[in-house]
Amino acid sequence: MEAMYVLIVIFLLIIGSAFASSSEIAFLSIKPIRIKQYSKSSNKRQAKKAKRVLKIHDNFSVFLTTILVLNNIFNVLIASLSTYLFTSLLSQGQEGVLLASAASSIIVIIFGEIIPKTLARIAPEKLTMAMSGIIYFFMLVIKPISFIFGKLEESLNKKLGKKEITATENELIDIVETIEREGVIEHSESKLIQSAITFDDITVRIAMKPKEEVVYINKDISFEELAKIFYENNYSRLPVYDGELNTIVGIIHQRDVYDTLFKKEEKDITELMKEPLYLSQRKLLSDTLESLQMNKSHLAIVVDNLKNKNFMGIITLEDILEELVGEIYDEYDETPKHFFEIGNHLYHVGGKALLSEFFEEYLEDSKKPRTKAKTISEWILELAGRVRKNDVIYYDNLKMTILDKDKKVIKMIEVEEMTDYAEE
């Protein structure tokens, strides 16, 4: 009869161990955003439980200490009672202890760890809300022990200079991708949010229009020639270049040129120039936007550094906006074609092609790169550094050959998807 009572106690202790193990995994698996939604529910009982879960989650170190203490108590008691039971029934000293240790270990691992932790991952939010009352009670009971460990942790963090980070950029992006897959937000919304998260890490060099693609004028040009350039290119302002200094010395507005021609005034180009805003190619886009706003300018000159002011390219408000929302075309722009499928899983891709668009439309079976680069050209330069014409770069199952390159700008790439499809 005594053995029966011991078995019942062991059974209850296994349930306690399973409870502690499952609650640990459940709290590690929950999404606080969803719990916050439950806390605003019209169902007062559900809202109360959700708020308690959030309170436990906010005191996670105390929670973990509580679970650790409970689990150890349960497992030690299971081992002790199992040893007592086996030695009593078998009347074999050493053999009974070994059998008890083996049996209790197997039982705890299967029923106290593996099964409850596996089940806890299925519906962690519901499970944590159901368990929150009991867990909170035990947290209060074991608070003195948790307090000591908490102080030790704080002391250690101070010595190590450790700062608690709620979530990294990559974790935030993973969250956004998850809620997109679940259908909570649209793909376009997901891309915009991800662009906003990584925006602060992008430098001017990534977003700028390089010198080779910029239409700029010499300071000695005539007004008639200048008016023709404005008309043909449909720009509102142009940089003025000084070849001797190898830099931009001013910005001239279309309005000022047409106004001068209309009034038939005799003026020099330099008289109409506005002082340019110079920015280092290493400047962050967030700071660049602030600089443009402060200077009430739509365009800035990108230089190697602010001492020698070697002309590298230009950056506009539109370029910055495009880093967030993607390519912007007005009614006068021709939408360029960047992708050309020339064979089975063989493509010619323009350097300006958007990386995300190419992978989504043509390379669904290939691993999408985790990168801050927006275009194919930027991504390849990030992978390989300096490249020359006919260079070959490999990524995952892709073979990429540089077909055309002009100085620092990759113009055309051949992309071959090396998969089993080629055998079909």
CATH number at residue 288: 3.10.580.10
Q: Identify the band that residue 423 occupies on the pLDDT scale cut at 50, 70 and 90.
A: very low
Pair (416, 306) in one structural domain:
no
pTM above 0.75, yes or no: no
Residue 165 pLDDT: 55
pLDDT per residue as tens digits for the range 367-383 = 778 777 778 888 888 88
Question: Would you say residue 332 lies in a domain?
Answer: no
Give the per-residue pLDDT at 422: 41
Residue pLDDT, tens place only, 133-190 = 999 898 888 877 777 766 676 677 666 665 555 667 777 888 888 888 777 788 778 8
Specify the range with the lowest mean pLDDT, choosing from 202-216, 364-378, 409-423.
409-423
In terms of residue numbers, what domain contains 137? 2-160
My answer on whether 230 and 345 are in the same domain is no
Residue 240 located in a structural domain: yes
Q: Are 34 and 153 in the same domain? A: yes
Are 235 and 321 in the same domain? yes
Alpha-carbon torsion 215, 219, 220, 226, what sign? positive
What local confidence, expressed as pLDDT, does residue 247 receive?
80
Share of the chain above pLDDT 70, in %: 88
In a domain, residue 381? The reply is yes
pLDDT band at 359 (very low <50, low <70, confident <90, very high): confident
Q: Are strands 237-242 and 217-218 parallel, antiparallel or unpaired?
A: parallel
* pLDDT tens profile 191-201: 788 888 888 88
Question: How many CB atoms within 10 Å of residue 191?
Answer: 19
**Which pLDDT tens digit goes with each residue over 2-21?**
778 888 888 899 998 999 99
Q: Are residues 13 and 155 in the same domain?
A: yes
- The answer, yes or no, to whether residue 260 has pLDDT greater than 80, is yes
Q: What is the pLDDT of residue 300?
A: 92
Q: How many domains does the chain have?
A: 4
Residue type, 348: H
Same domain, 87 and 49: yes
Say whether pLDDT at 33 is over 70. Answer: yes
State the average pLDDT over residues 277-299: 90
Q: How would you classify residue 418: left for phi > 0, otherwise alpha for psi between -120 and 50, otherwise beta?
A: beta
Mean pLDDT of 248-263: 87
* 374 plus 303 within the same structural domain: no
- Asked if residue 330 belongs to a domain, the reply is no
Tokens of 304: 């190697």
The pair of structure tokens assigned to 336 is 């360029």
Q: Are 29 and 116 in contact (CB under 8 A)?
A: no
> What is residue 194's predicted lDDT score, i.e. its pLDDT?
82
Note whether residue 85 is domain-resident. yes
Domain boundary among 292, 325, 358: 325
* Residue where a domain stops, chosen among 279, 294, 325: 325
Note the pLDDT of residue 414. Answer: 92
pLDDT computed for residue 96 by the predictor: 62
pLDDT tens digits for range 52-105: 999 888 888 888 888 888 888 888 888 888 877 777 766 555 666 677 778 778
Q: What would the pLDDT profile of 339-355 be if each residue is shown by its tens digit?
A: 788 888 888 988 888 88
CA atoms within 13 A on the CB side of 189: 9
Tokens 């296994």 belong to: 14
Report which residue type is found at 317: L
- 334 within some domain: no
In-domain check, residue 402:
yes
Residue 337 pLDDT > 60, yes or no?
yes
Q: Quote the pLDDT of residue 334.
A: 54
Region 289-301: mean pLDDT is 89
Supply the pLDDT for residue 424. 41
Nearest to 279 by CA among 302, 309, 245, 251: 302
CA-nearest of 383, 242, 364, 362 to 301 is 242
What pLDDT is stored for residue 315 in this prediction? 93
> Which of residues 97, 131, 160 is at a domain's end?
160
Report the 3 state secondary structure along the chain.
CHHHHHHHHHHHHHHHHHHHHHHHHHHHHCCHHHHHHHHCCCCHHHHHHHHHHHHHHHCHHHHHHHHHHHHHHHHHHHHHHHHHHHHHHHCCHHHHHHHHHHHHHHHHHHHHHHHHHHHHCCCHHHHHHHHHHHHHHHHHHCHHHHHHHHHHHHHHHHHHCCCCCCCCHHHHHHHHHHHHHCCCCCHHHHHHHHHHHHHHHCEHHHHCEEHHHCCCEECCCCHHHHHHHHHHHCCCEEEEEECCCCEEEEEEEHHHHHHHHHHCCCCCHHHHCECCCEEECCCEHHHHHHHHHHCCCCEEEEECCCCCCCEEEEEEHHHHHHHHHCCCCCCCCCCCCCEEEEECCEEEEECCCEHHHHHHHHCCCCCCCCCCCCEHHHHHHHHHCCCCCCCEEEECCEEEEEEEEECCEEEEEEEEECCHHHHC
pLDDT band at residue 420 under the 50/70/90 scheme:
low
What CA–CA distance (Å, rounded) separates 105 from 107?
A: 6
Judge if 380 and 403 occupy the same domain. Answer: yes
Nearest to 411 by CA among 333, 326, 353, 336: 353
- The predicted pLDDT at position 8 comes to 87
Statement to judge: residues 233 and 263 lie in one domain = yes
Mean pLDDT of all residues belonging to the chain? 82
264 in the same domain as 137: no
Contact assessment for residue 267 and residue 260, using Cβ atoms and an 8 Å cutoff? yes
Same structural domain for residues 274 and 387? Answer: no
At residue 421, the pLDDT reads 44
Supply the pLDDT for residue 92: 57
